[in-house]
Amino acid sequence: MAPNRQKTAIKGKLDELAEGQTSFEAFRHLGLCSLDIINQSVFSYCTDCQLQGENNPYVHAVQRLSDLWIKRSLYASEGNEDEETSGLDFLDIILKAKDDDGRGLTPLEVRDEVDTFLFEGSHVAIDIYNIHHNASMWGEDYDNFRPSRFEGDAARDMDPFAFVPFSAGPRNCIGQNFAMNEMKVVISRLLHRTVHTKF
Tens digit of pLDDT per residue, the chain (199 long)? Answer: 455 777 888 888 888 888 887 787 878 888 888 888 888 877 787 888 888 888 888 888 888 888 887 777 666 555 555 555 555 666 677 777 787 788 888 888 877 776 665 544 455 566 778 888 888 888 888 888 888 888 888 878 877 777 777 565 555 666 777 777 888 888 887 777 776 666 6
Specify the DSSP element, H or E, that contains 35: helix 27-43
Are the beta carbons of 60 and 54 closer than 8 angstroms?
A: yes
**Torsion sign, CA atoms 98, 99, 103, 107:** negative
Overall residue count recorded for the chain in this entry: 199
Distance CA 40, CA 51 (A): 14
- Whether 101 contacts 117, CB under 8 Å: no
| Domain boundaries of the chain, sorted by first residue | 1-56+175-199
Residue 185 near residue 7, CB atoms below 8 Å: yes
Which residues neighbour 163 within 8 Å (Cβ) at sequence distance 6 or greater?
A: 132, 150
| pLDDT tens for each residue of 133-146 | 888 888 888 888 88
Provide the pLDDT for residue 1. Answer: 45
- Could you report the per-residue pLDDT of 16-34, keeping only the tens digit for each? 888 887 787 878 888 888 8
Please give the DSSP secondary-structure letter assigned to residue 101: T
